[in-house]
Amino acid sequence: MCYINVALKKQAYQQYPYIPDAKETYDASNAVDGRKSNLDMSGGQCAVSYSVRTATWWVNLSSIHSIHHITIYFRTNNDDYIYKTFITDHLLGFSVYVSNTTDRSQGTLCFKDDNFTTNTMPHVFTTNCAVHGQYVIYYNERLPGVAYPDGYDSIVSINLCEVEVYG
* Category of 45 on φ-ψ map: left (φ > 0), alpha (ψ -120 to 50) or beta: alpha
3-state DSSP assignment of residue 78:
coil
Q: What is the pLDDT along the chain (167 residues), one digit of tens a residue?
A: 799 999 999 999 999 999 887 667 899 999 999 999 999 998 999 999 999 999 999 999 999 999 999 999 999 999 999 999 999 999 999 999 999 999 999 999 999 999 999 999 999 999 999 999 999 999 999 999 999 999 999 999 999 999 999 99
Give residue 23's pLDDT.
Answer: 65
Report if residue 7 sits inside a domain.
Answer: no
pLDDT at 25: 84
Nearest to 30 by CA among 162, 140, 125, 123: 162
Domain assignment of residue 88, yes or no:
yes
Instruction: For residue 69, give its domain range.
Output: 12-166
- pLDDT at position 22: 63
Domain of residue 145, CATH code: 2.60.120.260
**CA atoms of 113 and 76, how far apart (whole Å):** 18
Number of domains into which the chain is organized: 1
117, part of any domain: yes
Q: Is 0.85 surpassed by the pTM of this model?
A: yes
Asked whether residue 3 is domain-assigned, the answer is: no
- The residues that bridge with 153 in the sheet, in sequence order, are none
Distance (Å, whole) CA 48 – CA 150? 24
